[in-house]
Amino acid sequence: MSSTSRIRRDRPLEARLRRGRETAVHGILFLCAFISVFTTVAIIATLLQETVGFFQEVSIIDFLTGTAWFPGAGQFGILPLLSGTLLVAAGAAIIALPVGLATAIFLSEYAPAWLRGVVKPVLEILAGIPTVVLGFFALTFLSREIVQTLFPDAKLFNAASASIAVGIMIIPMVSSLSADAMSAVPRSLREGAFALGATKFEVARRVVVPAALSGIVASFILAISRAIGETMIVTLAAGATPNLTWDPLESVQTMTAYIVQVSLGDTAQGSLEFKTIFAVGMSLFLLTLAMNVASQFLLQRFREVYE
Amino acid sequence: MRAPEASFRRRLFARKVTAMGFAVLCLLGTSVGIVALALLLIDVTQEGIGRVGWDFINSFPSRRPEDAGIKAALWGTIWMISITAAFAIPIGVGAAIYLEEYAPRNWMTRVIQTNISNLAGVPSIVYGMLGLTLFVRAMELDRSVLAGSLTLALLVLPIVIVASQEALRAVPNSIREAAYAVGASRWQVVSRQVVPVALPGILTGIILALSRAIGETAPLIMIGALLFVPFTPSGPLDRFTVLPIQIFNWSSRPQPEFQENAAAGIIVLMVVLLSMNAVAIFLRNRFQSGPQV
């Protein structure tokens, strides 16, 4: 003890400086982390403030059950925007979920290491393609060359081509998250099944996929949530017609595309029509938040832990 | 051959065929993503390569498609990404260091951590609405590069944080223990031992986050980045446009000449993004084996 007290006596200033610096660093780093909480609070406050203003003028029941969306004519039923959003997301899911799952099974069960080393970076590049580029692709290639060739009566702006492009966008998300979940399944489970004479398909279907199911379903939910929040592809390719339809060859408008349309136009800020984007944004935020929370809950609650 | 054996052989054959079919199916599924990427790159290149050239890169937008270029958008993107990086990198890495190296295991830490995963899933357009209310209106930054950059910094923050956290978590504890054992303070351990080891992983995360920011369009439309900008920004408070917005503007016009310009703009954007991606993949493969201790 005597030696430590001598050190303290010899360099009290330095020791105090050091302790002060440690405290300051700790505080600054905490602030950095706390900015994320601030962001969430700010998002909710922003959306809530204008949404409350909107619902003082429009009944929330009309908003949630109305089947016509013509803000200019005082009709504020979100169902056409919601159906447009869900139509595009459902189409994207039909494409991306099976393809993403097949890719994940291929990567984790079949592909040799060198092939994984090629396929994974390619999928990462796909994941990094800006959505405005996919929107251009949807409009100039998918719509004109594929959808309109197969279905000549399809509109140039149609839900189908936007769906395909959004599906392409979320394939890497499904495949990488599902593949991660499958790689976490221990080798011994697979080897046990192989030892009983199972084929690779049987091992994948009866052992690996069930063991990784919570991760796979979580990746599905996250990907659909991404599809619902996607903006530029649907703005460019799905059209601008709030249309209560389930026909993918029709032009529709999603919630996100509506928000873009209003902010591009010359709607006066503070007007009721401008407030609509916050009500729609709030609906979008709550919808995606619910899905993200569900996916995290699945991951934490049902994760099989092998140690 | 006895009957049970024959039926066993038949079933074995069916199982093997199913297994083979399934393998082919998985291979086909995997090729869908790759083929889509290839089609996209070919389509864009075919449409736009004829327009890419020095004049295109060094001209302002114009009402005549053949004179139009991306000078304003390119400089806007450079401005925007520099300011975004200046905010997102220190705050993101700082938050990750706090969560991995400092944070006590209490409810506050859990709230922050859960919150970050939720923020990563918030649609980008919602960030645009936040930016419009907070930076453009409340902080009166107007529709400036700074307002756009701050919005995008908030948007990519979760990516930087999560990637940096993973990199820090991979640093073996023995390094920390050794540094503490020779009397280093916590900050000395973190800044001189842990962060340098985690740096390749952190850098990879930063590059991915910045390439996400470069490609973002919707939040910048929300905060009112201009569609037609015949000037380059000369300071953080100037109005601006960026490459994706220029591409969006050209894509949404019906004339094929403007679509060609859009494709050319995409080529420039993709070259930038692919180079960044290549650096990230290189960094990761170079250091993937992790720290050898």
Q: pLDDT of A66-100, one tens digit each?
A: 888 888 788 899 999 999 999 999 999 999 999 99
CA angle at residue A132 from B63 to A37, to 5 degrees? Answer: 125
Q: Which two tokens stand for residue A198?
A: 């199972």
**Can you tell me the ipTM of this complex?**
0.90
Evaluate whether residue B177 is within a structural domain. yes
In sequence order, which residues have a C-beta less than 8 Å from that of residue A124 and are 6 or more positions away? Answer: A172, A176, B277, B281
Residues paired with A75 in a beta bridge: A70
Determine, for residues B112 and A128 on separate chains, whether the beta-carbon distance falls below 8 Å.
no
- B29, B122, B251 ranked by CB distance to A139: nearest: B251
A-to-B residue pairs, Cβ atoms closer than 8 angstroms: 264
Which contiguous run of DSSP H or E holds residue B218? helix B218-222
> How many CB atoms lie under 10 A from the CB of residue A258?
26
* Tens digit of each residue's pLDDT (9 = 90 or more) over A26-38: 999 999 999 999 9
Total count of domains within chain B: 1
pLDDT (mean) for A181-203: 93
Distance in angstroms (rounded) separating the CA atoms of residues B76 and B242:
5
pLDDT of residue A218: 93
- By the 10 Å C-beta count (0-12 exposed, 13-18 middle, 19+ buried), B246 is classed as buried
Q: What element of type H or E holds A30? A: helix A12-57
More confident residue, A13 or B49: B49
| Cβ <8 Å between B36 and A46 | no
Name every chain A residue with its beta carbon within 8 A of the beta carbon of B273: 128-130
Q: Residue A26: what pLDDT?
A: 93
pLDDT digits (tens, 9 = 90+) for A35-62: 999 999 999 999 999 999 899 988 888 8
pLDDT tens per residue across span A209-261: 999 999 999 999 999 999 999 999 999 998 888 888 888 888 899 999 999 99
- Which of B34, B92, B134 is opposite residue A42, by nearest beta carbon? B134
Query: What's the confidence (pLDDT) of residue A154?
Result: 85
Q: Is residue B72 part of a domain?
A: yes
> How high is the mean pLDDT in each 10-residue block of chain B (293 residues)?
84 93 95 95 92 85 82 92 96 96 90 92 95 90 91 96 95 94 92 93 92 94 78 83 92 88 94 89 70 43
- B146 Cβ contact partners less than 8 Å away, ≥ 6 residues apart: B83, B135, B236, B237
Query: How many residues are listed for chain A in this entry?
Result: 307
* Minimum-distance CB partner of A33 among B27, B28, B98: B98
Record: contact B102-A30, CB cut-off 8 A: yes
Supply the mean pLDDT for chain A: 89
Looking at the domain assignment, is residue B151 inside a domain? yes
Q: Within a domain: residue B236?
A: yes
Q: Which residues of B69-99 are buried (b: 16+ CB within 10 A; e: fewer)?
A: bbbbbbbbbbbbbebbbebbbebbbbbbbbb
| The token pair that represents B236 in the structure block | 């953080």
Chain B interface, mutation test: which of A39, A221, A226, most B Cβ atoms within 10 Å? A39
Cα separation, A157 vs A160, in Å, equals: 9
**Higher per-residue pLDDT: A128 or B286:** A128
% of chain A at pLDDT higher than 70: 95
> What's residue A307's pLDDT?
54
Which CATH number goes with the domain that contains B198? 1.10.3720.10
Structural Rg of chain B based on CA atoms: 25
User: Measured between CB atoms, does B179 come within 8 Å of chain A?
Assistant: no
**pLDDT number for residue A153:** 86
Q: What percent of chain A has pLDDT over 90?
A: 65
Chain A neighbours among B 269-288 (CB < 8 Å)?
269-270, 273-274, 277, 281
Strands (E), A252-305: none
For residues A285 and A47, is the Cβ–Cβ distance under 8 A? yes
In 3D, which of B88, B97, B90 has the Cα closest to residue B169?
Answer: B97
Q: Which domain holds residue B186?
A: 54-287
Residue B253 lies in a domain: yes
Q: Across residues A114-127, what is the average pLDDT?
A: 91
